[in-house]
Amino acid sequence: MAEVLSVEVVSRGSRDADLLILGAFEGESPDLEGLDEAVRRTAGRMAARSGWQGKEEQSGQSDVPDGPVVVLSGLGKAADFSAVKLANWIGRTADWARGNGYRRVQYVLPRHPETAGAAAAERAVRWLSLAGYRFDRRSEEKNGAPLEGILVAPPAGEEGGYRAAVAFSRPIAEAAAFSRTLANTPPNEATTLWMAERAREMAAERGIAVTVLDETEMGRRGMGGLLAVGSGSAHPPRLVRLDWGTEGPVVALVGKGVTFDTGGISIKPAQSMEDMKYDKCGACTVLGIVRAVADLGLKVRLRAYCAFAENMPSGTAYRPGDIVRFYNGKTVEIINTDAEGRLILADSLAWAVEEKPDALLEFSTLTGAIVVALGHQAGGLFTPDDGLAAELLGASAESGERLWRMPLYPEYLEDMKGVHADLKNSAGRPGSSSTAAAFLSQFVGEQKSWAHLDIAGVAYLSAEVNPKRAGATGFGVASTVAWLRRRAGA
């Protein structure tokens, strides 16, 4: 699996790098406090040029005698600067450094609320650690050799906070890279059985207990949703349960792992179908969270359920019009076989709530409607629990992963009532991200504290959205670990 870059916190006077990137805000003099004298003079000359403004993506470059190349890099207006802009700046400049042959890069961060304090330090270190991440199966190297390491010079007085952040953020970055690589792996390799085996390996390395249900055991338990979705594929479905921790609150995590989604009999258009390998991102996020929690040793009792199936059309595939019975006994009329994610989640949720966890989170690339609603800027949060919503929104702000709470009105459930069964699996386009969440609500029993996170718009970036950084994002790992840390009292 992918490695993350080592991040070393250095003083602002350090010049032990091939390239030094100095961030500067628009309309302000660059923060040169504590810099090496030669670097300070060089940066000052670039900032004094008539064309320099510090706008986003503007940059100037100059050599320092017997020292690094210095890049003065615009960050835009300080009032508009955000965690997302910081992450994008790190990614963009790291791409440039790599493409131009630099191996050891030093970032000099200006003082700003997004670069000062413990939470900001953890975010920045995590993004710097992931700055060199690539999933690449090319036969020859493209755009230079990989970066070797990152140095970061925080704002003056923040060095201690950044050093503490390295110990916490690196395991999270490693878990996010693990999640990304699982999601990026193509469907001819990342089959249902392959994913189950990767979960086993990760768990074995950390002493995490694993249970894997095959199709025979699912049939014995009456898990008709998973069996239906997987019925058209040569790769049989699997349901993986991970069990970690002996003290602290009990938290259940559920993840959707459709290893490839053709839409089944209700087949999708050919355009962009190659991106449907990312329909397993929910399960990949859950596996990343479990890995990070175990590596950090958080005091929580984690129960994770990852449902893996491949949705294919064939002579054995499930059909529109079928009626399927689920683990909790409810029946569902199939309207659209491309509304398959909620079916594999239903069985998983019904199993997860049997243990009566203190809280349950479910992650899935569930609907295109959430992408229409929120674009690629935030994940959708659905929960009836106001307290849990506040906790998750706070953790998302702390981690720099945006969530937006979406409605879960009782009327959405009315839309999902079946004609010949308890429910139907699709009610058409209007409000379809909320009707999908309402459908899931019927499989959590008496569980009061639960949340559905629809991450379809943020779990991956297509080549059309971001050609330079296309691929899985690992969204949800950092924010959930932040939330679990608070739950664990750490």
Burial (0-12, 13-18, 19+ Cβ within 10 Å), 371: middle
> Residue 489: how many CA atoms within 13 Å on its side-chain side?
4
Residue in 268, 299, 319, 405 annotated catalytic: 268
How far is Cα 408 from Cα 430, in angstroms, rounded to an integer? 14
Give the rounded distance of the alpha carbon of 223 from its chain centre.
28
How far is Cα 30 from Cα 74, in angstroms, rounded to an integer? 10
Q: Does residue 342 have an active-site annotation?
A: yes
Q: Does residue 299 have an active-site annotation?
A: no
Segment (H or E) for 122:
helix 118-129
Token pair, residue 99, equals: 């493409």
How far is Cα 106 from Cα 1, in angstroms, rounded to an integer? 25
Torsion, CA 311, CA 304, CA 384, CA 489, rounded to 10 = -150
Burial pattern 284-316, b for ≥16 Cβ within 10 A else e, equals bbbbbbbbbbbbbebbbbbbbbbbbbbbbbeee
> Residue 4: how many CA atoms within 13 Å on its side-chain side?
22
β-pairing, 379-382 vs 403-405, is parallel
C-alpha to C-alpha distances, 13 to 10, 23, 54, 120, nearest whole angstrom: 8, 15, 22, 21
Residue carrying the six token digits 């355009």: 271
Q: Are 16 and 106 in contact (CB under 8 A)?
A: yes
* Cβ neighbours for 386, distance < 8 A, ≥ 6 positions apart: none
Q: Are 300 and 484 in contact (CB under 8 A)?
A: yes
Q: Are 393 and 285 in contact (CB under 8 A)?
A: no
DSSP 401: -
Residue in 15, 123, 291, 342 annotated catalytic: 342
What is the set of active-site residues? 268, 342
